[in-house]
Structure 1
């Protein structure tokens, strides 16, 4: 028996010497799966705006729910498998309602999703989210034709509810799989799916809409891809290294030693009181609010500015739309490598690295927005400013967005759900504030005020993060360790317990 134990120990030592941190491991495989999940999710999220262009042709006929013109010609045509496809007479406010309905569901389930990720694990949660998206997306064309815009909005709410689980699920998974010295690169690779999903989503959606598959093909395509990702998650994802059937003992030990905990505490109750009293959480939330607010301005309002003031419809040019996102995806890798090296080489502490990355993202982005307000009517200059802004703003993801994992790897998903919910809730007022300022959408001075507000959000929230932010690991992240009983004192403990039982029996007699 002892020989077997010694042999196993020698095998573990040999395996540990063969393990190379720089090599490809199962932690990287998990990151790739999570990256694919987020890429498809963001493509599905961004496809609706382009799809509506192909789906709608508003004419004032007093009916904004039925198709303008559509005649069924057989079963396949009634199921919208073959052309012609229905075109809907939806007013602009109806189209905006369908787009907004996704975010109603997305915000509603944010906080519960973090708790679900912690309780049931990311494998079940993300698989369920992608499979729900698969079914709803495939059925969307039929539901839209027979149920009008109301049923299409309900379908988008269901997709929003399911995708609310993705960000907390990703953060929970990274909290279990991302070692400190690789956290920036692994997190940046996964969250790079946000930018790449938008880059791929817009042209793919337009291509399918103009193909023989028509606009129903958009939703069937994303439904099938979402289902494929769901199967990939179910068969290849694992909640933690300890639950992966193929991971080596050396890689598992490396990850758990870096995180300072093992998977045995995965099902612990969430310490809500301690989480809500932690100042680091509020620094993250405040920075998240500023980042989301300015991002909505950059993505939603800037195209209108370029159309009404600059005289350039950026949405009509796929390259102009995709280029800033593509550059952002590439610079994402540089900033992630840089922040990891600052930590690995002990140039900066983890806390100061996060603050530096957050400032590196927010300050140049604020400068970009201010520059946009004074830019001449030259599309090349405007596009260069947008590329500059997006190229740097992604660095903030290596600041506040990774910070949850630094503070509490075991509750990263729960903390992400809190900050994501509050940031989206506060940033939802951004279009309202913009509408209040823009009494004349062609007035450049009013647009300057919009950009100044967003730039101020970047700068003020970053300042708060720099002042009160922290990346120190919270003491409540790990469960209290059971105190081992001293073997020498064990007989005395047993004797005292025996005397107590004897006294109790005598008193009962």
Structure 2
């Protein structure tokens, strides 16, 4: 079947995820700008958490500048550990509501949750410059944590949506396209941030831009999004039947919801394998978009514009290679060259092994920006294959509970991932120009990725679990005279 509303929903989810990841990833470059100001900046604010110094800062730049933020933009002097705490705070907020978010999405659907998350993120981004100016880094940390709380439902919501919209033969391509919003959102967050910070709007304009972006996408998704084919007002009967028959899902036509089989889900080796693989990938991703801007600034000594460009370029390459790997894995599954399980493990291998080698190479490479950037680009180009590996694997296991399972996996990932910037802060110990300490950091990230990859390859599976299909469970229970506890009427 050709282009349809399942593709439209995928495009909408792509823009939602792009906006979300733009907000999530721009902070690394924004902090560099906030600490450095711009070329016209003559004002320094040393500790905005103290009222006396705060009053002096307001006096130096003028009351109207404190309201509207025009040049000269204030420069904030927060140490490296304070900045790393800010970067880690998003992950802390993100992890706190992961499992509850999965259950909320499971019950109420994707549309409400993703729209609400984008609105929260947009409003907070818009008001952050005032908070940073008048409050200090602790207040910014709190706001970033709230943004993380808001985005906690994103992956669960998107996985639930694809559990309702994406047939197996199209699953890698549809999910890869939507989750391609991650690398492209990172490109926007890193590339535009550098240019905006160096432009007349300065670093305050960075926060306003991402605030407006999130609010705009939220409005569009609210009016065009739908939780399932059965709830879409304009989808054709042919496309709806095609999707529902492929997924054995008719949720849109019945007033029933499935009770989560927690014991079976948590004991499933496939879910365990995905969660462990997710930890390695999450640690790598968080390090890339939170620490690489600092690495480019302090070790490679590139200016703010070049910093955003060079840090964003690998993620732009990821966006393109994402399409190739998703097409390749779907073709392998459709033509049955490999089982679904082996196809997912192949994608995981393509994405992980070159990434680990790239990280180890960065530990030894000389201070040559061309060589360093080439290694980072090649590493990220391959790493995107994991989206057709473990990330889609969770939907293969149980499409009806994809949102719940990915929320558990994301919870575990973010518990460890929130520590990545903190670990980086302790490894670097404010000596951020020391290339030897950066080498240690790259080895830690590569080591984590290697261990989690080996576990996934050893125990991972993509077989559909019996507890995914309540009707089949009901038939089996009728034959044995047992009651099916999974099917409840609301």
- 1:435 and 1:141 map into 2 onto residues whose CA distance is 24
Instruction: Rate the CA distance shift 1:161–1:375 in 2: closer, same or farther, 3 A.
Output: same
- Within the candidate set 365, 372, 396, 1:375 is matched to 365
Report what 2:172 is aligned to.
184
- 1:266 and 1:332 map into 2 onto residues whose CA distance is 36
Q: Does 1:350 align with 2:340?
A: yes
- 2:288 and 2:208 map into 1 onto residues whose CA distance is 30
- Within the candidate set 18, 27, 31, 1:52 is matched to 31
Q: Does 1:203 align with 2:219?
A: no
Report what 1:97 is aligned to.
85
Whichever of the two has the greater Rg, that structure is: 1
Report what 1:362 is aligned to.
352
Report what 1:477 is aligned to.
468
- 2:197 and 2:441 map into 1 onto residues whose CA distance is 34
Mean Cα deviation higher: 314-323 or 330-339: 314-323
Structure 2: any 5+ residue segments left out of the alignment? 37-42, 477-490
- Within the candidate set 395, 410, 413, 1:423 is matched to 413
Report what 2:270 is aligned to.
280
Q: Does 1:217 align with 2:227?
A: no
- 2:74 and 2:436 map into 1 onto residues whose CA distance is 43
Report what 1:270 is aligned to.
260
CA deviation after TM superposition for structure 1 residue 380, in Å: 2.1
Give me the CA root mean square deviation: 3.1
CA deviation after TM superposition for structure 1 residue 41, in Å: 0.9
**Bigger relative contact order (CA 8 A; separation at least 6):** 2
Report what 1:491 is aligned to.
none
Q: Does 1:24 align with 2:12?
A: no
CA deviation after TM superposition for structure 1 residue 174, in Å: 1.1
Mean Cα deviation higher: 351-360 or 295-304: 295-304
Cα deviation code 1:237-282 (max 9, x no counterpart) = 0000000000011111111121122214762222211110111011
SS at match of 1:267: strand
Cα deviation code 1:128-147 (max 9, x no counterpart) = 11111222222333344444
- 2:122 and 2:296 map into 1 onto residues whose CA distance is 35
CA deviation after TM superposition for structure 1 residue 214, in Å: 3.4
Instruction: Rate the CA distance shift 1:449–1:54 in 2: closer, same or farther, 3 A.
Output: closer
SS at match of 2:363: helix
Mean Cα deviation higher: 89-98 or 31-40: 89-98
Structure 1: any 5+ residue segments left out of the alignment? 1-20, 485-509
- 2:295 and 2:126 map into 1 onto residues whose CA distance is 35
- 1:73 and 1:321 map into 2 onto residues whose CA distance is 32
Report what 1:18 is aligned to.
none
- 1:333 and 1:382 map into 2 onto residues whose CA distance is 25
Report what 1:7 is aligned to.
none
- 1:306 and 1:89 map into 2 onto residues whose CA distance is 19
Report what 1:390 is aligned to.
380
CA deviation after TM superposition for structure 1 residue 100, in Å: 2.8
Cα deviation code 1:343-385 (max 9, x no counterpart) = 1111111111111101111111112222333334433222221
- 2:256 and 2:381 map into 1 onto residues whose CA distance is 37
Instruction: Rate the CA distance shift 1:373–1:424 in 2: closer, same or farther, 3 A.
Output: same
Q: What number of residue pairs does the alignment pair up?
A: 463
Mean Cα deviation higher: 446-455 or 471-480: 446-455
Mean Cα deviation higher: 148-157 or 406-415: 148-157
Pairing 1:299-318 to 2, within 5 Å after superposition: 299-300=289-290, 311-313=300-302, 316-318=306-308
- Within the candidate set 369, 374, 392, 1:402 is matched to 392
- Within the candidate set 21, 44, 67, 1:42 is matched to 21
Contact 1:72 1:78 in 2 (8 A): no
Contact 2:191 2:311 in 1 (8 A): no
CA deviation after TM superposition for structure 1 residue 82, in Å: 5.5
- 1:444 and 1:86 map into 2 onto residues whose CA distance is 30
Instruction: Rate the CA distance shift 1:77–1:408 in 2: closer, same or farther, 3 A.
Output: same
- Within the candidate set 446, 456, 462, 1:465 is matched to 456
Instruction: Rate the CA distance shift 1:162–1:435 in 2: closer, same or farther, 3 A.
Output: closer
Report what 2:39 is aligned to.
none
- 1:444 and 1:135 map into 2 onto residues whose CA distance is 38
- 2:122 and 2:289 map into 1 onto residues whose CA distance is 26
TM-score normalized by the length of structure 2: 0.85
- 2:417 and 2:344 map into 1 onto residues whose CA distance is 23
